[in-house]
Amino acid sequence: MRAFREAVEAGDLDAVEALLAEDVVFTSPVAFKPYPGKAITAAVLRAVVQVFEDFRYVREIGAPDGPDHALVFQARVGDRELTGCDFLHVNEDGLIDDLMVMVRPLSGAQALGEAMGARFEQIAKDAGARSA
């Protein structure tokens, strides 16, 4: 989805949030259960932009007018390089209702998990403030 990619690349997290459906489900590469809802998804995305360094999309897969998209990215977490993919599904209203992220290698995923885990209390607070 071009609009999501452009908003992420511009660091415009308000525009990213505006592209999320209220019932979006976020599936993290480092958490066991998915996170349902716009507030928690937006809070996670706001935190991950603080964790990722040198983030860049390197490939976009999917028809521009189709409902399914894959955005391949590269980034760094501390001294760990990682490659990942954002898998997006867009609903009938053109909003993202499913966002699944996968990353590799394991050492990169572990570094991401540690960095995000350290921020989870703040993520939960931000999500609560957004849903209020």
- For residue 123, give the CATH number of its domain: 3.10.450.50
Predicted model pTM: 0.92
Span 87-115, average pLDDT: 96
Q: How many domains does the chain have?
A: 1
Going by pLDDT thresholds of 50, 70 and 90, the confidence category of residue 52 is very high
Q: What is the DSSP string of 58-86?
A: EEEES-TTSSEEEEEEEEEETTEEEEEEE
The number of angstroms, rounded, from the C-alpha of 34 to the middle of its chain's C-alpha atoms is 12
Q: Is 66's pLDDT higher than 90?
A: yes
Average model confidence (pLDDT) for the chain? Answer: 94
* Domain, as residue range, for 122: 1-131
| Residue 102, helix vs strand vs coil | strand
11-37 pLDDT, tens digit per residue, is 999 999 999 999 999 999 998 899 999
Q: What is the pLDDT of residue 26?
A: 97
Q: Is 110's pLDDT higher than 90?
A: yes
